[in-house]
Chain A
């Protein structure tokens, strides 16, 4: 196999070499034609070279000219370049200047806008100022008016001041007068004080004297009571013994005498008791309270009529107002007046006793009226005297102390007592007391009304 392949390759290579020899002969024929062409072209080129040498001289000259021109252009170029740089610098500066201007313009616009606002503000303020000016004008007028008023007032004040000055002067005069008066008063006061002190001293002295007198009176009363009663009791007692143990030994006259001793000694005892009761009144403290006079008089009437011929007496009792007084003392007044009325009516066939009251000047006047024996008004001044009697003992019993006690009690109440009477027609007794009010007070004994009078 391999030898076939080698034979193929040698065939191909001999064919190639035969083709390449043919090509080299063609090429040698073409090169003889190309040599003849080149010998012609050389002649042409020599013609052309001489022409070129001339053109070259020309060109050299032109080149020199061009080089001169180029050098000038270089210079001109440099100049231009410099000028360009300057222009660029200037342009850059202009840019900056432009920016500056733009900025300034913006600022100016802003400022303008602000100015617009400020303008509006100013306009508003102006309006306000105008308004305020208008108000000030009004206020000014007001002030002017007030000033005028003030001036008027000031004028008035000037007048008033003058008035005051005048009054002050008057007051000072008055004060001076008052000062004198005060000094006078002070002097008077001092005098009064002195007098008062003297008076007080006198009162103290007098009180001591009165107390001494009072003590003397009390011991006197005690002595009277004790020492006078003892012997009378003895007389009365022995008379009783005689009557009890020795009556059989006496005749009728003797017994009558004995009875007289008993009766008189008893009367003496009663007198002493009454006298002491009366003197006690002057020393007794009067304790004032409100008195239900209706109830008081009714109770006294019941007690007084108890042992008398009650059915026989026509007794009328009006409604009695309240009074101020010492109930126990006022009761004694009614006991004495009612028993008097009963006593002095005892001989009347139709005895009548009436009790009533009326008001007069904050006082109550109580009265008791009877239709009894009465008395002669000529002897009125003896009516309230101690142991004074207007009737005989035989006619009407009694010691004559009852009305004196009535008067003393009423006087101790700062009241008054009086009577109206006609013989055989009857008597009316009146006494006054302060009208009843609430509250309790104490009336102290009046000096100079102590004891026996």
Chain B
């Protein structure tokens, strides 16, 4: 199934941002399997294998979670809190946000965010930032393997 053996879970409500981000990751040479969910609720269903993802292998965890903060239904902050209080808290969670104004940078780190990235407007910088994230978290960083 498409949602098995996912290495990067990517939660982003903006189709455009999602497309640009995935493109940037692929362009940077990453071949790891990326799965895109459109809001926080879907992200939680995917991670905990409930709802639409009930059939997903419960022992199959992503190596990295990219999380937008401002999403409908369940916000990125809530998803982060949920992940970091449970048995999956070892998974690195990188916050990707559009805004420098987010009042909760401190709160995100307190909840256990691994990294906090503001997406640049300018495409060159944006692609570079995404590429750097992919390179660091998937290639340089040694994730926990089950």
For A237, the chain B residues whose CB sits under 8 A away are: 16, 20, 123, 126-127
**Measured between alpha carbons, how far is A129 from B122 in the docked complex, in Å?**
126
Query: Contacts A226-B70, A241-B23: A236 and B100 contacting too (C-beta < 8 A)?
Result: no
| Alpha-carbon distance A98/B11, docked complex (angstroms) | 160
Asked whether A233 and B17 contact (CB < 8 A) given A240-B124, A276-B100, the answer is yes
Decide: A222 and B97 in contact? CB cutoff 8 A: no
Contacts of A232 in B (CB 8 A): 121
Q: Given A226-B98, A233-B17, A265-B121, decide whether A240 and B103 contact each other with a Cβ distance below 8 A.
A: no
Contact between chains at B23 and A238 (CB < 8 Å): no
Whether a CB of chain A sits under 8 angstroms from the CB of B101 is yes
Contact present for A222 and B99 (CB under 8 Å) = yes
Given A226-B70, A241-B23; A236-B121 close (CB under 8 Å): yes
Residues in chain B near residue A227, CB distance under 8 A: 98
Instruction: With A225-B98, A229-B98, A276-B100 as known contacts, state yes or no: A238 contacts B16, CB within 8 Å.
Output: yes
B119 within 8 A of A: yes
Chain A residues 158 to 216 lying within 8 A of chain B, measured CB to CB, are none
Query: Does B14 belong to the interface (CB within 8 Å)?
Result: yes
In the bound complex, CA of A273 to CA of B122 (Å): 12
Q: Tell me which residues across on chain A come within 8 A of B99, comparing CB atoms.
A: 222, 225-226, 229
Query: Bound state CA distance, A156 and B98, in angstroms?
Result: 95
* Beta-carbon contacts under 8 Å, B76-111 to A: 97-103
A70 within 8 A of B: no
Partner of B101, one of A234, A238, A269, A276: A276
- Given A226-B70, A238-B16, do A233 and B101 touch, yes or no (CB 8 Å)? no
Interface size on B, residues (CB 8 A): 21
**How far apart are the CA atoms of A55 and B17 in the complex, in Å?**
221
- Cα separation A272 to B118 with both chains bound (whole Å): 14
Partner of B97, one of A226, A231, A269, A276: A226
* B120 contacts chain A at the CB level, 8 A cutoff: yes
> Which single residue of chain A is at the shortest CB-CB distance from B97?
A226
Given A239-B123, A266-B121, does the pair A234, B17 have CB atoms closer than 8 Å?
yes
The interface residues of chain B lying within 8 Å CB-to-CB of A218 are 101, 103
CB distance from B121 to the nearest CB of A (A): 3
Once the chains bind, are A273 and B17 in contact (CB under 8 Å)? no
Provide the bound-state CA to CA distance between A230 and B99, in Å. Answer: 9
Distance (Å) between the CB of A233 and the closest chain B CB? 5
The verdict on A269 contacting B16 (CB below 8 Å), with A222-B101, A237-B126 known, is no
- A233 and B121 contact, CB distance less than 8 A: yes
A273 and B100 within 8 A (CB): yes
Q: Name which residue of chain A comes closest to B24, CB basis.
A: A237
A336 at the interface (CB under 8 A from B): no
B98 engages A236 (CB within 8 Å) = no
Complex CA–CA separation, A221 to B100 (angstroms)? 10
CB distance from B42 to the nearest CB of A (A): 19
0 or 1 for each of A218-258: is its CB under 8 Å from B? (1 = yes): 10011011110111111011111100000000000000000
Interchain CB contact under 8 A, B122 and A236: yes
Q: Are A269 and B98 in contact (CB under 8 A)?
A: no
Mark out the residues of chain B between 20 and 40 whose CB falls within 8 Å of any chain A CB in the assembled complex. 20, 23
A234 touches B103 (CB 8 A): no
Chain A residues near B102 (CB-CB < 8 A) = 222, 226
* A contact residues around B103 at 8 Å (CB): 218, 222
Closest chain-A Cβ to B77's Cβ sits at a distance in Å of 13
Decide: A225 and B101 in contact? CB cutoff 8 A. yes
- Chain A residues lying within 8 Å of B121, measured Cβ to Cβ, are 229, 232-233, 236, 265-266, 268-269, 272-273
CB nearest to A280 among chain B residues:
B101
The residue on B at minimum CB distance from A218 is B103
B20 touches A234 (CB 8 A): yes
Check A230 against B101 for contact (C-beta < 8 Å).
no
Q: Which residues of B contact A265 (CB under 8 A)?
A: 121
> By the criterion CB–CB under 8 Å, are A262 and B123 in contact?
yes
Q: Tell me the bound Cα distance from A236 to B121 in angstroms.
A: 7
In contact, B98 and A230 (Cβ under 8 angstroms): yes
A129 to chain B, nearest CB (A): 107
- Cα(A280)–Cα(B99), bound, Å: 13
Whether A236 and B101, one on each chain, are in contact in the complex, defined by CB atoms closer than 8 angstroms, is no
Q: Which of A218, A229, A231 has the most CB of B within 10 A?
A: A229
Given contacts A230-B14, A269-B120, A269-B121, 18 further A-B contacts (CB under 8 A): A222-B102, A225-B100, A226-B99, A229-B121, A231-B16, A232-B121, A233-B16, A233-B17, A233-B126, A234-B17, A234-B20, A236-B121, A237-B126, A241-B20, A262-B123, A265-B121, A266-B122, A269-B122
What 6 pairs between A and B have smallest CB-CB spacing? A269-B121, A240-B123, A234-B16, A225-B99, A225-B101, A226-B99
- Chain A: residues with CB nearer than 8 A to chain B? 218, 221-222, 224-227, 229-234, 236-241, 262, 265-266, 268-269, 272-273, 276, 280
What are 29 A-B contacts defined by CB distance under 8 Å?
A: A218-B101, A218-B103, A222-B99, A222-B101, A222-B102, A224-B101, A225-B98, A225-B99, A226-B98, A226-B99, A226-B101, A226-B102, A229-B98, A229-B119, A230-B14, A230-B98, A233-B16, A234-B17, A236-B121, A236-B123, A237-B20, A237-B126, A238-B16, A239-B123, A241-B20, A266-B122, A273-B100, A276-B100, A276-B101
